[in-house]
Structure 1
Amino acid sequence: MTTDNHDLAVRMADLARNIAAPRTVTAVLAEVTEAARDLIPGVDIAGVLLVGKGESFETLAPTSPLMFEIDKLQMACLEGPCVQAALAETVVRTNDFRKETEWPNYSPKVVELGVLSGLSFKLYTADRTAGALNLFGFEANDWDVEAETIGMVLAAHAAAAIMASREGDQLQSALSTRDRIGQAKGIIMERFNVDDVQAFAMLRQLSQDSNVKLVDVAGQVIDTRGK
């Protein structure tokens, strides 16, 4: 069974527009995982796994609650296709977990959950967080090149959504920091009858003397307003 190229192109275009639109990353990732299930024959469940520092991880946009169990299992075993894709390989294909010997702890346990095959794609998130788009089937599947190609395109969309979201968060944080420093400078200018440059120099000196971040010193100044 092959995927109709027109349907694929339409779905990809929709995903591209959704990433550019002002929508939450969760909503975009949900559309990516649903698209994977719809467009790739043999995919029964899908989700995104993000692996952070230490033992932290997060399951996003699962099409089934079973994805939470699969991700917990992989992180507990510290092996499996999702972990390997997120941390090392670009694409990890498993046609039949019953015959898979690379993950001796994980494979038998995922088979017990009723999962027999999987495809995992590395997400390039441009930060310290690793990630993977993970697709699983309840039957053994001979995943072909078309399945891998579609999965890689969907993984690129997922990564773009995550990066766009984080860039937005960073921008919002930067604007908030600038506003707090500006408020603090205004308070100091009024309180000590100094100009903008002198007020910022005072804030910076306080930060250096107390070994506290400049934005936190600004917050302390704002909190003392009226006292």
Structure 2
Amino acid sequence: MVSEQEWVKERQLFAGVAPSADQAAAEPWTGPLAHEFAKVAHLLLDSPTVAGVLDRVVGAVKALVPEADFVSITLRTKEGRYTTPVRTDELADRLDELQYTFDEGPCVHATRTSGEGIVDVPDVSAGPWPRWASEAAALGVGSVFAVGLVPADDPPRLGALNLYSRQSHALDKVDRDLSIVLASHATVALAATTAMTSAEFEHAQLRAALESRDVIGQAKGILMQRRGLSAEGAFDLLRRTSQDLNIKLAKVAELFVNSRHDI
């Protein structure tokens, strides 16, 4: 168990505050943050895949910010499509996907925000995005904290690092400097792995995420044509069916598309 004194020392280090003479004499200046970032840096050199490195970044966030019940990373492709390649919980997938569909929400907004790119939503039910906030609150989410990846001064960014909590105001004390450092690690991971292979973004979980988006779009189009629904109405029907049957939204869409000739 990490003591409060260790955390204070680590935060002093990140803030550029030197340890006292007694502290320096007592032990080498290392601690939980240093060890966690060392693990991330090692994986940056060792892993050939984006997913592997980003998974380590998400794990580090979960370890260093215990107030976050689940964590995800949003990526934005050059074509403007959003995906969630890594997450700690399937509910984060659902929350991210709703933001991509509605084109609103903290992680989407963080990719479009210059400067620090931080989006803090202490109380989701009172958030500025009514459609997404209503869905998120219904799914039991109380607060969100997101920070955009680089480039900082020229949005849209590469993506965002997203922290979710089931309680409102649970993320009020998240260290902003720490969150920016963690998001920077994710950015370095993307840059390093992209340098190895430009095709990596189409691999593994990223490809599956894009395929899920495509099949949902097909199902929405069929519903809009056959039932005269709006795009939002078609998505709402798919979402309610997913909840009623307790089946993932992408699977419901796939089943609907595959059986369209029988309906």
Confirm whether residue 131 of structure 1 aligns to residue 159 of structure 2. Answer: yes
Confirm whether residue 78 of structure 1 aligns to residue 78 of structure 2. Answer: no
SS at match of 2:159: strand
SS at match of 1:60: strand
SS at match of 1:105: helix
Displacement of 1:121 in angstroms is 1.1
SS at match of 2:140: coil
Displacement of 1:55 in angstroms is 5.8
SS at match of 1:92: strand
Confirm whether residue 36 of structure 1 aligns to residue 78 of structure 2. Answer: no
Q: Of residues 174, 180, 183 in structure 2, which corresponds to 1:155? A: 183
Match in the other structure for 1:95: 122
Displacement of 1:166 in angstroms is 1.0
Displacement of 1:128 in angstroms is 7.5
Structure showing greater Rg: 1
Distance 2:174 2:136 in 1: 25
> CA separation of 1:12/1:42 partners in 2, compared to 1, >3 Å: closer, same or farther?
same
Letter in 2 for 1:92: V
Letter in 2 for 1:42: E
Q: Higher mean Cα deviation, 129-138 or 15-24?
A: 15-24
> CA separation of 1:53/1:18 partners in 2, compared to 1, >3 Å: closer, same or farther?
closer
Displacement of 1:167 in angstroms is 1.2
TM-score by length of 1: 0.67
Distance 2:56 2:138 in 1: 28
SS at match of 2:130: coil
CA offsets per residue over residues 42-73 of structure 1, 9 Å max, x none?
Answer: 10111111122556221111111112111111
Q: What percentage of aligned pairs have identical amino acids?
A: 29
Displacement of 1:114 in angstroms is 1.0
Confirm whether residue 104 of structure 1 aligns to residue 130 of structure 2. Answer: yes
Letter in 2 for 1:23: P
**When the two structures are aligned, how many residues end up with a matched partner?**
171
Confirm whether residue 165 of structure 1 aligns to residue 173 of structure 2. Answer: no
> CA separation of 1:40/1:95 partners in 2, compared to 1, >3 Å: closer, same or farther?
same
Displacement of 1:154 in angstroms is 0.9
Distance 1:159 1:32 in 2: 10
Confirm whether residue 119 of structure 1 aligns to residue 145 of structure 2. Answer: yes
8 Å contact 1:53–1:129 — kept in the other structure? no
Q: Which has the higher contact order (CA 8 A, sep 6+)?
A: 1
Gaps (5+ residues) in structure 1? 173-227
> CA separation of 1:164/1:94 partners in 2, compared to 1, >3 Å: closer, same or farther?
same
SS at match of 1:43: coil
8 Å contact 1:87–1:130 — kept in the other structure? no
Gaps (5+ residues) in structure 2? 11-30, 201-263
Match in the other structure for 1:217: none
CA offsets per residue over residues 141-175 of structure 1, 9 Å max, x none?
Answer: 25356532221111000010011111111499xxx
8 Å contact 1:52–1:129 — kept in the other structure? no
> CA separation of 1:142/1:23 partners in 2, compared to 1, >3 Å: closer, same or farther?
same
8 Å contact 1:42–1:141 — kept in the other structure? no
8 Å contact 2:112–2:155 — kept in the other structure? no
8 Å contact 1:87–1:131 — kept in the other structure? no
Q: Of residues 75, 82, 88 in structure 2, which corresponds to 1:63? A: 88
Distance 1:85 1:129 in 2: 8
8 Å contact 2:141–2:164 — kept in the other structure? yes
8 Å contact 1:49–1:132 — kept in the other structure? yes
Distance 1:130 1:78 in 2: 16
